[in-house]
Amino acid sequence: MVGAGARVIVVMPDGQELRASLYERRRTSAGWEYRIGVTVWGTGAGGRPESVEHRVWLGADHVRPLEGGDYSRVPTRQTSTPAAFAGGRQAWTVQQLPHRPGHPGATLVHVIGCQPGGTPLDLDQTLDALKQPRTVTCRECNAASSLP
pLDDT tens sequence across 52-94: 888 888 988 899 988 877 777 888 876 543 445 555 556 888 8
Pick the CATH number of 6-78 from 2.30.30, 2.20.200, 2.60.40, 2.70.50: 2.30.30
Phi/psi of residue 126, nearest 5 degrees: -65, -45
Domain ranges of the chain: 6-78, 85-146
CB-based contact 60:113 (threshold 8 Å) = yes
Phi, psi values for residue 27, rounded to 5°: -105, 125
Alpha carbons within 13 angstroms on the beta-carbon side of residue 45 total 0
Compute the distance between CA of residue 109 and CA of residue 133 in angstroms, rounded to an integer: 13
pTM of the model: 0.52
